[in-house]
Amino acid sequence: MFAPLLALILGAPPEPPCADPVRVTVVVVYASAKTAETDPKLATLADEVRKRDPKLTGFSVVTTLQKSIPPGEAHTFDLPEQQTLKVAVDRSKDKDDRVGLTITPPGLGEITYSCVCGKFFPIVTPHKTGGGEQLIVAVMGKPCVAGKKDK
């Protein structure tokens, strides 16, 4: 009853949030104190992690996983050594090109955050592999815009 009146007073209603699925990419990384070899793609990540733990000298990509997840839904990614990472899409791209995700990495509680589309959010988990490597997961959310003009 009041909605049409408010729309007239306040102007046009705000645009509804984007309902497009979000393409979630998870990069699984092992960090080790036993090697100094670092994948060149991980140089920036390695520099940041070493600020907190200088013993970690080697970084390698183990696998990359992807899944298109609609807003309001979640997916559990199977990681090495029977670990899992749950990713829920809270909202797709907003007016600032940010997506909202809630992730549950191995050994940690839920982390809810908003991120710029196409940027990775790395998490150093407390999980250590049988070989002593530290498990790191980097999560990126990117709206699925294939075939759309606003790529």
Give the pLDDT confidence score for residue 71 in this predicted structure. Answer: 94
Interval 80-99 mean pLDDT: 91
* Averaged pLDDT of the chain: 86
Answer whether residue 148 shows pLDDT above 70. Answer: no
DSSP assignment of 86-140 equals EEEEEE---TTSEEEEEEE-TTS--EEEEEETT--EEEEEEEE-TTSPEEEEEEE
Give the pLDDT confidence score for residue 2 in this predicted structure. Answer: 47
Give the pLDDT confidence score for residue 144 in this predicted structure. Answer: 59
